[in-house]
Chain A
C-alpha cells in the first residue's frame, strides 16, 4: 500500500504580530489578521492599518468585503473603500454565511445563491449583519442568551454553544428553534452537507448529534478535561479531537454510525494548538512548537506531510475545495500550502 499524498508550501509571508485568524473566501481569496489588528489580504505587499485594538477573528462576507470582530469595538466590515462599524458589546466571533438561499434575504428567485450576511456572536446572542445593504437593513440580534461559539449549519440554521448548552437558531425566523442542555460547550463543529454536529462539553465529553434529531446522540467520554479542539469533515464522515499531544479521530458511516474503535495516534511532541479537517478528508494539526502535521484517515500512525513554522501554531484553515491550507503562527508567519492527494496503490 502506498499513499503518495503530499503538501507543499506555495506562499510564505510575515505579519507584524502573531496571526490571530485566517479566512478563505468562496473564491479562494485569503485574509490573514494579526494580533496587532493589521491584516494582509491576498498577495498585497502592504498590510492594512490596524482594524481594531483587540482583534479576535475575521471572515469574508462578500466577494470583496471582510468582517473583523474586535473585543473592544464590535464588528468592522471593511472593503470597497469603506469601513462600517457595528458596535456589539461582548462580541467573540464572526462567521460568514457561505451559501445563502435567496429566500433568506428575500431577494431574487433566480436560484442563484450569494453571500449576503455574516453573523456575529457573543454575550448578547447572535447578531445578523447585512453588509451589502448600505445601512438600509440594520443588524438584528437574536436573543439566544450568551454564546461563545456559533457555526453555520446550512440555509438559515445556525448552531450556537454556550454555558447552557447548544441552541439551534433559525435566522430567517429570528428565533431559537431547539435547545440541548449540556454543561458548557467549549468547542463546536458542524458538517453542513449532512447536518452532523460535534460538540465538546466542559466535563470532557464529546457529543455527536444529528440536526434532524438532536435528542438522540452519540457520546465519547473518558477525557479528564474539556476537549477544546474538535472538527468534522464537511461530508460528516470523519471527526477528530485533540488533547495535549494526542490526535484521535473516528470514522462515521453514511447512516451516522460511529466506528467502534477510534483511530488514535500520539501525533505531536508538544501540545496541539490547532486542528482542521478539509473537504478532501485530510486532517491538519499544529502544535506549540510550530510543527504542522497532515493526517490521512487511511493511515493511522504516520503523518502524510509535515510543515515547520516559527512559533506556536495559532490557526489552520482549509480552503473550500480542501486543496489549500493556510497556517499561521505566533511569530506572524503565514504559510499557504497546496495539497496533492495521492491514491491507494
Chain B
C-alpha cells in the first residue's frame, strides 16, 4: 500500500499547523522543536511524530535541481516501516529556511519514497492578520518566501480570517489568487488532511489557470489541444522544456493524449525532475484533450504554445 503525503508549507511556527492534524492515523514529519511543543503532545505520545531536521544533499555542488532532502528520505521510510501503516503522512515545511521545491522533488523522485508514499497535495498555510497588515502598510502581500509556494500549492489556507475585515480578507485572497495557477483558497475551518481532503492533485489533468507574472516572477501557462500528439515529438518537447528551464521550472503537470495510446499519459514534476504514468492508474477519465500546465520563471508563452502545437500528430 502506498501512503498519501500532504505537504504543508508555512512561514508560521509549525505548532500552528498541528491543528490540521487531528486524525488518529495521521503521522507528522516535522522538526524536533515542534515535537517538544505542548500542542504536539498527543501526536508525539501516540508515536505518530517522526523528527526530521532538514539536510540537503547535492549531486552537483549547489545545483538545486540535483538536491535531495536526505532527512526526508529517512523520515518517510521510518514513518512507513510500521506494523500498522498511517492513513496519511503530513510533512511540515518551514518556508523561512527550507526549500519547498526540494522537499517536493525528493518525495517525487526518491526510489525509497515512491514505493512507499505518493505526493497527494501541497497546502500553503498563511495568516490573514500578517498578510493584511502588509497590505495596510503598503508592502506587497506576497514576499519572496511565499512566492514559489503560492505558485505550486494546490490549496491555500488563510487562517485567522475572522480577525480581519471583509475588505482586508478580500484583498488578501485576491492577491494570493493572482499569483496561484494551481491553488484554491479554503477557509481555516476546512479540513485539509485526510478523508475527503484527498485530492491526488499531482495526478491527472490539472485544474489550473494562466497567471502572467513580471519578468522575474513566476508565470503559469496552460496549453490545450484536442488532437492526438505525436509520441516522439511530445517526448522531445518535454525533454527540451525540462532541460531548457531546469531550476526556473517550478511545477509542470500534464495529461497528454498521444497517438497510438488508448489512455492519456500523466506527467508531473518540479525543476529538472519529471515523471510519467498512465492516467488510468489514478483516474478513470477518458478524454482526448491534452493539457499541459507549466509554472516557472522567464517562460515565453508564445514560444511554448507554438512549439507545443507543433507536436500534434500529422
Contacts and interface: CB of A to CB of B under 8 A. Distances in A.
Given A183-B60, A186-B70, A18 B115 contact: no
B58 A18 contact: no
B54 to A, nearest CB: 9
Interface in A11-46: 16-18, 20, 35-37
B81 A37 contact: no
A235 interface: no
Contacts of B22: none
B59 A89 contact: no
B121 to A, nearest CB: 25
A71 B50 contact: yes
B187 to A, nearest CB: 32
Contacts of A271: 115
A90 B115 contact: no
Given A54-B35, A163-B55, A186-B57, A311 B47 contact: no
B202 to A, nearest CB: 21
A163 B115 contact: no
Interface in B188-226: none
B270 interface: no
Given A90-B51, A148-B70, 15 more contacts: A17-B84, A53-B47, A53-B49, A54-B47, A56-B78, A71-B52, A72-B36, A90-B32, A122-B53, A123-B55, A183-B60, A202-B57, A314-B81, A330-B81, A330-B82
B45 interface: yes
A312 interface: yes
Q: Which of B44, B53, B60, B112 has the most CB of A within 10 A?
A: B53
A331 interface: yes
Interface in A124-160: 146, 148
A282 to B, nearest CB: 25
Interface string B53-69: 10111111100000010
29 contacts: A17-B83, A17-B84, A20-B78, A36-B47, A50-B47, A53-B35, A53-B47, A54-B47, A54-B78, A71-B32, A71-B35, A72-B44, A72-B49, A72-B51, A89-B53, A90-B51, A90-B53, A122-B53, A123-B53, A148-B55, A148-B74, A163-B55, A163-B70, A183-B58, A183-B59, A184-B59, A186-B70, A244-B111, A288-B115
Interface in A156-170: 162-163
B240 to A, nearest CB: 22
List the 4 shortest-distance A-B pairs measured between CB atoms, nearest first: A71-B51, A184-B57, A90-B53, A72-B35
A196 interface: no
Contacts of B55: 123, 146, 148, 162-163
B180 to A, nearest CB: 32
A36 B68 CA distance: 28
A244 B115 CA distance: 11
Interface of A: 16-18, 20, 35-37, 50, 53-54, 56, 71-72, 89-90, 92, 122-123, 146, 148, 162-163, 183-184, 186, 202-203, 225-226, 228, 244, 271, 288, 311-312, 314, 330-332
Contact of A54 (B49, B58, B61, B83): B49
Nearest to B85: A330
Contacts of B74: 92, 148
Interface residues of B, number: 30
Q: Which applies to chain A's interface (DSSP): helix, strand, loop or mixed?
A: loop
A54 B60 CA distance: 32
Contacts of A312: 81
Contact of A37 (B32, B47, B51, B111): B47
Contact of A163 (B57, B78, B83): B57
Nearest to A50: B47
Contacts of A122: 53
A15 B82 CA distance: 11
A204 to B, nearest CB: 9
Contacts of B44: 53-54, 72
B294 to A, nearest CB: 26
Contacts of B112: 228
Given A54-B35, A54-B47, A228-B112, A203 B59 contact: yes
Contacts of B49: 53-54, 72
Contact of A72 (B32, B56, B60, B70): B32
Nearest to A333: B83
Nearest to A332: B83
A20 B83 contact: no
Given A54-B35, A184-B70, A186-B70, A18 B51 contact: no
Given A35-B47, A71-B51, A288-B115, A331 B56 contact: no
A145 to B, nearest CB: 11
Contacts of A17: 47, 82-84
A20 B81 contact: yes
Contacts of A202: 57-59, 68, 70
A35 B82 contact: yes
A18 B81 contact: yes
A37 B50 CA distance: 12
A35 B59 contact: no
Contacts of B115: 271, 288
